[in-house]
Structure 1
Amino acid sequence: MRDRSPLVQLTADVVILTVREDRLEVLLIRRGKAPFEGMLAIPGGYMEADENLWQTAIRELEEETSLDGMTPHLELVGVYTDPERDPRGQIASGAWVAMIPDPPVAKAGGDAAATEWLPVDQALKEPLAFDHKLILQDAVEKARQSLNQSTAAVSFCRKEFTISELRRVYEAVWGGKLDPGNFHRKVTRIDGFIEPTGETTTRDGGRPAALYRAGARRWLPPSIPRPEVSA
């Protein structure tokens, strides 16, 4: 029988996103214990007595996935309080989205029996534990909005990147193509968005391409239109 105690417990769930091979991917765990043993889920865990939810999210990044040394861009997605969301009792969750570049191989920890990176569109077709499909949908939309409003896109890039690499981040997250020439003009005209390093690279193929780094700006004017994508 479901526990109807009025005591509410708090957890933090962290949707970890990266762009790899020009597609948006999410890190999921394979649950190693009940409830939903064997099902895919978003990494997360209970808030401890000496923590706030932000600190819980940071800790869970390490404990569940062993992403050593990563300093992800973290944003709050929302708080999920449906009393039926967890069969163990009334458990509310603060969900966060983490945007990281070129991640190392993740290692399962805590309640995770295994971890795996999946393209987001594939992950959304899988049966996910708890209400994690809803959280994943909301987190992806949060990331898409962040690219409209802030310089979060550079969080998916390495420390130094080309304009083409940055454009492919927008295309992967937004799910649509952008005109290369227009994109180059727009991002290079936004003061403080990106800064040239003075170096070039040929890793994109073809002629050497200029390398850039993140600038000091954090918020963007509405200058990079999000492409319309059919459902």
Structure 2
Amino acid sequence: MFTLRGPSLSVLLVRRGEEPFQGMPALPGGFVHADESADVAARRELAEETGLDSFPGHLEQLATYSEPGRDPRMRVVSVVFVAFAPNLPEPSAGSDAADAYWMPVEDASRESLAFDHAQILADALERVRSKLEYTTLATHFVESPFSIRDLQTVYEAVWDVTWDRANFRRKVLGTRGFVEPVEGVADAASTGGRRAQLYRPGDATTLHPPIPRP
């Protein structure tokens, strides 16, 4: 689960409240109920961890992890989803977690995570970084309407780079269907002193041409 917290890309972690790996940080998750699909279970878990009635953001399946011994309790196959949304609240720990919190991915990548969650986090982060190049994924990290500067903040946080503002603006506006202008302008405080044009997501789902990683 990713979101922007200030200028940083952050990931949702929980501190395990029971064995195995009691007290260690882990990615949130849980078991699928008998009457649920994996997708429904993922949305339920996210809603519980974020404290929202329902999860409002983007959710997609990442991969299946099935190495023997990945859970010392029993044979466990995990269907992992990656999710992202803007402006999420402070999380609330589920029944089996001692705590839940946001952590910048740069710090989380250096943590010793429970189970095989370090590998899962690395895979999820690469999925997000890759999809920014050729899809409109960045628009799921901001609330609509947004400024070009808001989108630039997403790219800079996810890729850990700094873009020239004029160059980034040309790339976004030169990509058909990426964004559409809307009525109104952003306030000067949020755009560094200028009242900037506001946009909403366009009708494209893939970017032509793509925006390559620097």
Matched, 1:45 2:30: yes
Q: CA deviation at 1:69?
A: 4.5
Matched, 1:64 2:45: no
Once residues 183 and 170 of structure 2 are traced to their aligned partners in structure 1, the CA distance between those partners, rounded to angstroms, is 18
Q: CA deviation at 1:67?
A: 3.2
Partner of 2:150: 165
Q: CA deviation at 1:222?
A: 3.8
Partner of 2:210: 223
Q: Which amino acid aligns with 1:217?
A: A
Once residues 197 and 82 of structure 2 are traced to their aligned partners in structure 1, the CA distance between those partners, rounded to angstroms, is 30
Once residues 51 and 6 of structure 2 are traced to their aligned partners in structure 1, the CA distance between those partners, rounded to angstroms, is 22
Partner of 1:105: 90
* Aligned-partner SS, 2:18: coil
Do the aligned residues in 1 keep the contact of 2:46 with 2:55 (CA within 8 Å)?
no
Residue correspondence of structure 1 range 64-213 to structure 2 within 5 A = 64-201=49-186, 202=188, 203-213=190-200
Higher percent of residues as strand: 1
Where in structure 1 are there 5+ consecutive unaligned residues?
A: 1-15
Once residues 179 and 159 of structure 2 are traced to their aligned partners in structure 1, the CA distance between those partners, rounded to angstroms, is 20
Query: Residues 165-215 of structure 1, C-alpha deviation per residue, up to 9 Å, x if partnerless?
Result: 101101111111222112111211222211111211122231111111111
Partner of 1:12: none
Do the aligned residues in 2 keep the contact of 1:150 with 1:220 (CA within 8 Å)?
yes
* TM-score normalised to structure 1 length: 0.88
Q: Which amino acid aligns with 1:218?
A: T
* TM-score normalised to structure 2 length: 0.94
| Cα RMSD for the two superposed structures | 1.3
Identity %: 48
Q: Which amino acid aligns with 1:49?
A: A
Q: Which amino acid aligns with 1:188?
A: L
Once residues 55 and 38 of structure 2 are traced to their aligned partners in structure 1, the CA distance between those partners, rounded to angstroms, is 19
Q: Which amino acid aligns with 1:123?
A: A
Q: CA deviation at 1:126?
A: 1.0
* Aligned-partner SS, 2:30: strand
Query: Residues 124-182 of structure 1, C-alpha deviation per residue, up to 9 Å, x if partnerless?
Result: 11111110000000000000111112111011001211101101101111111222112
Q: CA deviation at 1:75?
A: 1.8
* Aligned-partner SS, 1:45: coil
